[in-house]
Structure 1
Amino acid sequence: MLSVEGLGVTFRRGGDTVRAVRDVSFTVDRGESFGIVGESGSGKSTVLRAICGLSPTSAGVIAMGGQTLSAPRSAAFYRQVQMVFQDPYASLHPRHTVDRVLSEPLAIHGFDRREDRIEQALADVGLGEGFRFRYPHQLSGGQRQRVAIARALILEPRVLLLDEPTSALDASIQAEVLNLLDRLRAERGLTYLMVSHDLAVVSHMCERLIVMQHGRAVEQLSRDALAAHRAETDYTRSLLAASEGYSPAPV
C-alpha cells in the first residue's frame, strides 16, 4: 500500500541546516497498522508530514500502490490518504461548528449526499446528531479528537496517518479513542501508519514498527518481538525499560 525508500528531510533557515530525517525506509501492507516510535525530536512526525506533503523531502522516494507520489500532492492523493493530528485543540478551527468542519472537505472534493455523509460520520465515531452544530470549545478533548477522526474518514480514504492521536488526551479517554480506531480499521479495511512515543499504544495497535533515533530508523520489530523484549539495539531496550515505569526505592 505504502512504501518509503531512503527518505530524507532537511530544513534550512538562514545559515543553519537541520537533517530531520535521514535515509528512512519501510513498507506498509494493505490493511496493516504500522508504527513509528521514538523520543521527541527523533523525526517520527516529520516522516508523516513528508508523506502527506507538509514537509519538503530532500532525498528518497515515497510511493503509494506502486506509484511514486508527486509534489505537490494531488487532490486524488488526499481522497486516499488523510491525517489525524496530535492536538485536537489545535487541529479544529475555533470558530467553525462541527457541521462546517465536516462539510468543507465534502465540498472541496465534490461529494454528493452531504447531509447523509455528515450524519453517518458522526455516528461512526460515537457522536450523535446533537454534536453537529457545536463549536470546539463546547466539546471535551476526546470529543474533539472524535470529530477530527470523523473529518479524516468522511472522504472515505484507504490510509490514515495518525500522529500521536491520543497523547493529548486524559488516560481514561485514550483507551476509548484507540478502541474506536481499532474498530474502524477492522470495519473499513483501513491501513494505518501511526506515530507514537508510547510503546504500549504501538504494541496494542500495530503489527510491525520501526524505532527512530536522531532522524534514522535504528530497528524494525514485530509486535511479538516487542512483547518479548527481543530488541537488538541499546536505544530500543532503553525505550522498553522506560515504558515499564519505575519502582520506588526500598525504604
Structure 2
Amino acid sequence: MTDALAVNNLTIYFEDFAAVDDVSFNVSAGSSFGLVGESGSGKSTVLRAIVGLAPSSGGEILLDGKPLATPRSKAFYRHVQMVFQDPYGSLHPRQTVDRTLAEPLAIHGIGDGERRIARALDEVGLGKGFRFRYPHQLSGGQRQRVAIARALLLEPKVLLLDEPTSALDASVQAEVLNLLEQLRRERQLTYVLVSHDLAVVTHMCERLLVMQKGQAVEELSAQALAARQIGTAYTRDLMAASTGFKRE
C-alpha cells in the first residue's frame, strides 16, 4: 500500500545553518505520526517544508507516492491542511468566524459553503451562534477549534498539526486532543503531529520520530515508548524531562 506521505532525506538550510539534516519517515494512510523534540530540533520546519512554507535544499517529499511540485498546487491544499500552534495569531482579528471559514472555500471555488461551514463548526463543537463572532470574543480553545474547522473545510485527507495545544491552558488541552482524535477516526484522516511533549505524542500517535538539532535520532512506536523500550540516551533524557519535576 502506498504511504499517504513520505519524506526522504529531507535537508533544509537557512544560509549555512542546517535546520533539517537528512530526515526521512513515512506515514501510512489513516495513521497518526509524531515528530518530537526540544525547541530548535527542526520538527516544525519539516511541517513547513511539506506545505511549501520552507524551501527544501535536498531530498524529496511524496504525497500518495508522487513527488510534490514547487510551488504547491491548489489541489495539494485541498488534500493537505495545517493547523498552527498559535490560535491567537492564525485568525485574522478583524474577520468574523464566518468570513474566516468562507475564505478558503472562495479561493478554491467551492460552492456548497453553507453546508461545509455548518458541518465543520458542528464537528468541532461550536454551534452556528459562533459564526459571526470575532476572535477576541472567543477563548483560546474556541479559537483553536475554529482553526481546526477551517482546516476541515476543504475535506483534506492529511492534517499537519504544529503543537496544536501548546498555547492552551492545561484544562483545555485534553479537550482539543480528544476532539482531534475523534475527527481522525470519523473522517479517516492521516495526521502528522509536532510536539515537544512525549505524553501528547504517545496519546495521539502510533509511531514517532525523535529529532535533535535537525537530525533524526530514533524512530519507535508509541507502545515501545510507553514500555520504556528506548534505544538512545537522548530519547531517555527527553522522556525523563517530560515526566516533570520531582522533589528529592
Question: Partner of 1:169 in structure 2?
Answer: 168
Partner of 1:204: 203
In 2, Cα distance between the equivalents of 1:90 and 1:84?
11
Q: Paired residue for 1:26?
A: 25
- State the one-letter code of the partner of 2:222: R
The residue aligned with 2:110 is 111
Deviation for aligned residue 1:121: 1.0
User: Which residue is equivalent to 1:9?
Assistant: 12
Q: Distance in 2 between matches of 1:222 and 1:117?
A: 35
Cα distance in 2 for partners of 1:18, 1:140 equals: 38
Q: Distance in 2 between matches of 1:162 and 1:210?
A: 15
Q: What is the letter of the counterpart of residue 4 of structure 1?
A: V
Alignment TM-score, normalising by the size of structure 1: 0.97
Task: Give how far 1:245 is off.
Answer: 1.2
1:25 is paired with a residue whose SS is strand
Q: Shift of residue 116 of structure 1?
A: 1.8
Alignment of 1:227-242 (within 5 A): 227-242=226-241
Q: Deviations over 1:46-80 (max 9, x none)?
A: 00000000000000010000100010000000000
SS in 2 for 1:185: helix
Instruction: Compute the displacement of 1:18 (Å).
Output: 1.3
Displacement of 1:246: 2.3
Which residue of the partner structure matches residue 54 of structure 1? 53
Aligned counterpart, 2:149? 150
Aligned position for 1:213: 212
Q: Which runs of 5+ in 2 are unaligned?
A: none
Q: Secondary structure of the residue that 1:90 maps to in structure 2?
A: coil
Q: Write the mapping of 1:66-145 to structure 2, written as runs, cut at 5 A.
A: 66-145=65-144
Query: What TM-score comes out, normalization by structure 2 length?
Result: 0.98
User: After TM superposition, where is structure 1 displaced by more than 2 Å over at least 4 residues in a row?
Assistant: none
- How many angstroms apart in 2 are the aligned matches of 1:59 and 1:100? 38
In 2, Cα distance between equivalents of 1:69 and 1:114: 28
- CA displacement 1:103-162 (0-9 Å, x = unmatched): 000011111121121111111100011100000000000000000000000000000000
Partner SS state of residue 192, structure 1: strand
Q: How many residues align?
A: 245
Cα deviations by residue, 1:208-240 (Å, 9 ceiling, x for unpaired): 000000000010010111001111111000001
Partners of 2:17 and 2:91 in 1: CA distance: 29
- The percent identity for this pair of structures is 70
Secondary structure class of the residue paired with 1:56: coil
Partners of 1:71 and 1:92 in 2: how far apart? Answer: 26
Tell me if 1:194 matches 2:190: no
**Distance in 2 between residues matched to 1:171 and 1:142, nearest whole Å:** 10
Between 1:116-125 and 1:2-11, the stretch displaced more is 116-125
- How far, CA to CA, are the matches of 1:26 and 1:186 in structure 2? 22
Cα distance in 2 for partners of 1:57, 1:21 equals 9
Partner of 2:210, secondary structure, is strand
Q: Provide, for residues 160-217 of structure 1, a one-character-per-residue CA deviation record: whole Å limited to 9, x for no partner.
A: 0000000000000000000000000000000000000000000000000000000000
Ranges in structure 1 where 5+ consecutive residues have no aligned partner: none
For 1:172 and 1:207, the matched residues in 2 are separated by 24
CA distance in 2, matches of 1:115, 1:81: 21
Provide the C-alpha distance between the structure 2 equivalents of 1:239 and 1:224, rounded to a whole number of angstroms.
16
